[in-house]
Structure 1
Amino acid sequence: MAKLYFYYASMNAGKSTTLLQADFNYRERGMRTMLFTAAIDDRSGPGAIGSRIGLEAEATPFDSATDLRALVEREQRAGPVACVLIDEAQFLTEEQVDQLAGLCDECDVPVLAYGLRTDFRGQLFPGSARLLAIADALIEIKSVCTCGRKAIMNLRVDTAGRPVAEGAQTEIGGNERYVALCRRHFTAALAGTAPLSQGSCTTC
């Protein structure tokens, strides 16, 4: 039976790279895949998944109104879909996560979802919370804080590199807006006891 997988990590841990490698593995064996990415994140261009090491692939953009299951079932009428891969899975709605689970359970199509677990305040994204609740497999992709510990938190910084503690949950950005830190240094940065300079953890 097909499974729903949730690969989660902090910022800049290589989630998109891992997704694109998985997609390549399927396609190399002549299998058709479907790739989705959040429409709100257009850093690699509209409808594109890009990684920091230069890999890129076209994808179908989704927003909160997209019926993912319907799109996959429509594509299946043209031929079997071996796997569905979701980038920026934290932006899924709870209903969309349930749609993906339905694809696994009722259509026997495996789904690989890649995304952040928590936001810049350390709070779960709704899509990630639902994935953590119902996914068949939870796989952590590890990243490293500059102190050498595992990075599990995503610190948002302003244009001067100062920690940001308030604001909208969703704000698209890369290294210039987010720093992956261990919990200790995330907490210290927000408390003002570990000043940051463009992503450097000065107390590490």
Structure 2
Amino acid sequence: MGDTTLWVFGYGSLIWQPGFAHAERLPALLDGWHRSFCMHSVHYRGTVEAPGLVLALDAADGAACAGVAFGIAEPEADSVIEYLRERELVASAYVERMLPLSLADGREVEAVTYVIDRDHPLYAGALDLEDQAAIIARAEGNRGCNADYLFNTAAHLAELGFADPDLEHLAARVRAIRASGPGPL
């Protein structure tokens, strides 16, 4: 624990596919933000012609987001930040922030966290759950099917014991839409 010099907060795909070495991995809570499919994806889970949706943190009074904090040791800190910036800032719709986290072991830390820029054209905060489900059910990008991104995230949150009613609802709706057959967005 003593060699952790950088913390990173994962709330979506970083939970199940961080892509970097870490010295610690703990459940964590971020106050003032909620996990939401509020960002159009034109690279990873959709295209410019048919955007998908990916998770972002959107600010909300009284909200809290459960996720995973990754502790990074000093020798890897610079390369992890470089990797994360290449991965997360591809569309510039995320903003990199240092935000306070409460770790499951009682520690309070500051963590690199990627939050949505509400002024960015890819911000999709006005979509209701039904519209989100319709998009996620059909979209696909260079990292695969948008539905798989949702299903993986929901499954890993459930494994960690984190309840996320919106994601659970979306997963059920997307499965139902996909079971009804192909169709336009």
**TM-score between both structures, scaled by the size of structure 2:** 0.30
- Specify which structure has the higher proportion of strand: 2
| Structure number with larger C-alpha Rg | 1
